[in-house]
Chain A
Amino acid sequence: MKEKQEIIRLRNHISYIFEQAWHWIVLFACVLFSSEDSLKLGMELIQKGNIIQGLLAMGGALFVMLLVCAWYLNRWYRTTITIQDGTITSAKVTLNTRINTMSISNISNINLEQNIFEMLVGTYKLKIDTNSLSTADTTDLEILLKKKEAEEVKQLLLAMLKEQEDGEPDGEKIEEAPTDTGEFDIMQGECDIVYSNKDILKNALITMSIIEFAGALGMVVLAAGTAAVAFREEKEILAILGTLLLQFVLASSLIADFIRKFLQDFHFRAKRHGDKIYVYCGLFKKKSYVVPVDKINAVTLKYTFIGRICKRAYVKVINIGGQGEEADGMKLLLTDTYGELGRKLNILLPEFELPQIERMIKPPKRLLGIYRVYAVFSAAVAFVACECTVALTGEGGIGGMTVLAGLLAGAAVGALYLYICYMKYRASGIMYTDKTFILSRGIFTKNIQTIPYARIQFIHTKQGPLMRRLGLLEGNVSILASALSQTQYMGIFDRGDFKRLEEKFRETY
């Protein structure tokens, strides 16, 4: 095989220096231009031919700025990625030399990302995520390349990955692999799932944080109220507009999340191609990712608070690659009704089925008894804390009133705790199918996870004295995922339900 025998050495695109150092450059430029006198003197000296003196007069800021640029230039020059003999090596030979080598078979995701600056320059960020959780921090790679080069490298890695997974002999498979159908070509063809702008707007609204939604709604109501009062009092039009503008600015900062989500998911489309799912989205920051189906460890159906009211959820898949916002999974489908999600998931990922929620096993009613005991305990703690606070702050002179305040605080905390527990109880559920374990959990939001038994790494259960008395168990299952999704909490269920999970789990090994 030609490509495999070749040593491919890559270096970040030169614009990487600016991308890494721009905030320092801006900072030092601000410092430099803020001291007008030294700048004027320096410029005069340079004009007179005394360049060194002129630069010195401009002060240390310029020197530090140049030093920072030199530092990043050195780092850029000394950072390379080498692909050779089925391995990928990242080398950073700076003050702290770090050389990491990993097998291409350990790659779980290869994604392309582009922000506004990269769109202007015409580069793409190639992100390579590895399978290993314990070494993910040191072996996950990122490299900035020109669009064509990024696409070529991605296709080469995908082909090599496929070859290693298929166990094909050296030499033939890569040329046979679909390297001709680049990811952009795949996405430019007809996609299996395409969302309209209306769908994306709806998705941004439903996935919006409830606090921000309530804040924005409050601001709109307040603005309408202010305007009505101002008109009634016949205030000056400028004063009214000023107040409205201020409230509009506050409201828009609250709906920033909504706008960000809309831009992030703009033109969201997905396609199943062989054993991989290709997803592409974004307006300013374009993002494309490939999810190998055999690396999916769980599928999550996510209901936000608003989503639960509207009966709409979205789908994420959990594999090891996610970072930042994707730490709890990579988005596969935007918000839709349950039936529509099932239809779309059947196109993209027929290996997984949406669970029949109505068949889920609910936690036993006696669990509510435990919650009531905990609520009484938390109310007592709140009462004692309230009394101590009053005593310590020296406000203890109001007699029965402090006891009443303590009782009220205790009752409020107890009631809130009980309400949260009840919501948790309502969202909780588990289900067993032949090959997958399904669990549902949440308080105001709800997540329904589908995990193949074969993907469970280990099971952990816990039982407190009260649970022991009532025959209950609390547990979680561990899967290969980022730290945020690694432990999947099951909730508290009957001991027998855990026994069944244990039996199903044992069948897989």
Chain B
Amino acid sequence: MEYQKLSKKARGCMLVNECILAFVCTVIIGVIWHFLQDAQIPFNINFIWILAVAIWVLSLAAPFYRYERYRYRFSEEDIDVREGFLFLHRDIVPIERLHKVALESGPVDRIFGLSKVIVTTAGGDVTIRFLEEEAARKIVDRLKVRINQYAVDRRENEGEAGNYQA
């Protein structure tokens, strides 16, 4: 199965999320600037605004890179997710080892009609973000069927399979 890209709506959602974060950072920088204006420090306090500009530049650029790099694949056996801006992350999760599948959506996600699928294994969880609501629901339903199928198969094979030999 080929890797799939996110829908265009995801880019907008990423952009809004990044802008909110950049806004919060700008407010914090503004507060620091206000309180340190009269303090004696070795450099001009106005330079702190360069940091704010850098944050905004990165925040505006990141969604485009992240969107281009974001790939996911739900095959019969596993889930493979690649994402990132500066650091590229990849997760490979076998469906056989899933314990729980959850569907979640935050306020910004809902504005764009997006959801995230959180898959939980015995060793932690992995989140697949920015999926279209309908697609996410289909994925969850498919995963549920697969998990149940694995549970039934495992129960049937329990008698046959011995302990693994390392």
> Residues on A close to B: CB < 8 A?
131-134, 167, 275, 293-294, 351-353, 387-388, 391-392, 396, 435-436, 450, 452, 454, 456-465, 468, 478-481, 486-487, 502, 505-506, 508-509
Contacts and interface: CB of A to CB of B under 8 A. Distances in A.
B87 A458 contact: no
B111 interface: no
Interface size class of B (residues with CB under 8 A): 20 to 34
Contacts of A388: 42
A487 B78 contact: no
Interface in B27-42: 41-42
A477 to B, nearest CB: 8
Given A351-B163, A457-B121, A502 B92 contact: yes
B88 interface: yes
B124 A452 contact: no
**Shortest 8 CB-CB contacts between residues of A and residues of B:** A457-B123, A478-B123, A391-B42, A480-B122, A457-B121, A509-B94, A458-B93, A509-B96
B8 interface: no
A294 B163 contact: yes
A480 B96 contact: no
Given A457-B123, A509-B78, A351 B165 contact: yes
A134 B88 contact: no
A391 B41 contact: yes
Given A134-B120, A457-B123, 15 more contacts: A131-B122, A351-B163, A351-B164, A351-B166, A391-B41, A450-B166, A457-B121, A458-B94, A458-B124, A462-B87, A462-B88, A463-B87, A464-B86, A480-B123, A505-B94
B144 interface: no
B42 A460 contact: no
A133 to B, nearest CB: 6
Contacts of B93: 457-458
Contacts of B86: 464-465
Given A480-B123, A509-B78, A435 B166 contact: yes
B88 A133 contact: no
A351 B93 CA distance: 26
B163 A275 contact: yes
A401 to B, nearest CB: 16
A350 B96 CA distance: 27
A457 B122 contact: yes
Contact of B87 (A131, A167, A352, A464): A464
A416 B11 CA distance: 42
A458 B97 contact: yes
Nearest to B121: A457
A481 B123 contact: yes
